[in-house]
Amino acid sequence: MKRILVADDHAIVRKGLKETLAEELGPLRFGEAGNNQQVLDMVWKEEWDLVMLDINMEQRSGLEVLQEIRKARPKLPVLILSMYPVEEFGVRALKLGAAGYISKQSAPEELVAAVRSVLGGGRYISAALADRLAADAQRGSEKPLHQTLSTREYQVMLMIARGKSLKEIAAELSLSAKTVGTYHTRILEKMALNNDIQITRYALLNKLVD
């Protein structure tokens, strides 16, 4: 029987995911984690066939946790779940070793298809993500500036581009205002930008946000 660890900080989301998968895929054994430390503890202590990992839990980005899982259990597939469109984090997730990336707004049928594919030893790449990968490949060796950012810096950059203040970002990510200010400074330096207006313009031009 396949064992799936469902990691999301909302109990109702975990319940819905389990019910959807059990209904379509038959007998499965589930574990649940409500925060990033629980995820890592359960990955270290138990054997799993798949981790379904929310990208946006408190304290740390799911992509940072993904990197730790890959180090500890390199053969354990991780399917990233996100409230963000695939264009924003999908490519980055795959490059960090995720077996797939799926938006929480996706239809249940897509979720089931993604899990079935990954449990079968494959990866799940949606049509939207395939388009994004193709667009990146067309750039050749030229590396977009946003790819020089760390996972957390990239997340902060997108939130700034959506119009959130540094104070709001700090509250949403459970970080101190000083820490977010440091990320902000690094973003401007790495991308050779001068202000938040330029950050927003860059994100829109590169279709990182709507």
Q: Which of 35, 53, 162, 39 is nearest to 102 (CA)?
A: 53
The two structure tokens encoding residue 140: 């050749």
Q: 22 with 114, same domain? A: yes
pLDDT tens string 11-35: 999 999 999 999 999 889 999 999 8
Of 136, 158, 192, the residue at which a domain comes to its end is 136
CATH number of the structural domain spanning residue 49 = 3.40.50.2300
Backbone angles phi, psi at 42, to 5 degrees: -70, -35
> How many angstroms separate the Cα of 28 from the Cα of each of 18, 44, 51?
9, 20, 13
Find the domain containing 77 and state its range.
2-136
Q: Which helix (H) or strand (E) holds 63?
A: helix 62-72
pLDDT tens string 144-193: 788 888 888 998 999 999 999 999 999 888 889 999 999 999 999 988 88
Q: 125 with 156, same domain? A: no
Q: Which of 91, 92, 86 is nearest to 106 (CA)?
A: 86
Indicate whether 94 belongs to any domain.
yes
Q: 89 with 168, same domain? A: no
* Count: domains in the chain: 2
How far is residue 150's CA from residue 114's CA, in Å, rounded to a whole number?
Answer: 27
pTM attached to this predicted model: 0.76
Q: 26 with 45, same domain? A: yes
